Amino acid sequence: MALTREEVEHIAQLARLALSEDEKEMFRSQLSAILSYAERLQELDTDAIPPTAHAVDVQGVMRDDVVRPSLPRDAALANAPQAQDGFVIVPTVLEEHA
């Protein structure tokens, strides 16, 4: 399974990863090799086999609906790269159009 450079760029875009030109080439060859290796799974007939998402039978247990204190705002914002007046600052998301 050989990936093209365009496919690598598309995957990087889906994954929101800015890559350098060198990285694109490196990942193109490495991902191609790993995907070729994974091709061996096609040797197995799995038509009648159900998929496993969790190996151990753990059910999604609902916990009691008890109100607990949440993280204080200061603590929640303490690791934010940029914050002001109790808000996180990011570049403009919505722009006004004339």
The label of the residue with tokens 């990285």 reads: 23
From candidates 5, 6, 25, 35, binder to another protein by CB under 8 A: 35
Sign of the four-CA dihedral 13, 14, 17, 21: negative
Q: Is residue 64 close enough to count as binding another protein by CB under 8 A?
A: yes
Provide the token pair at 64: 């009691």
Q: Is residue 14 close enough to count as binding another protein by CB under 8 A?
A: yes
Provide the token pair at 41: 């799974």
From candidates 21, 67, 69, 71, binder to another protein by CB under 8 A: 71
Which distant-in-sequence residues (6+ apart) come within 8 Å of 3 by Cβ?
A: 28, 31, 32, 35
Footprint of another protein (CB under 8 A): 8, 11-20, 23, 26-27, 30-31, 33-35, 37-38, 40-42, 44, 46, 49-56, 58, 60-61, 63-64, 71, 75-76, 78-82, 88, 90-93
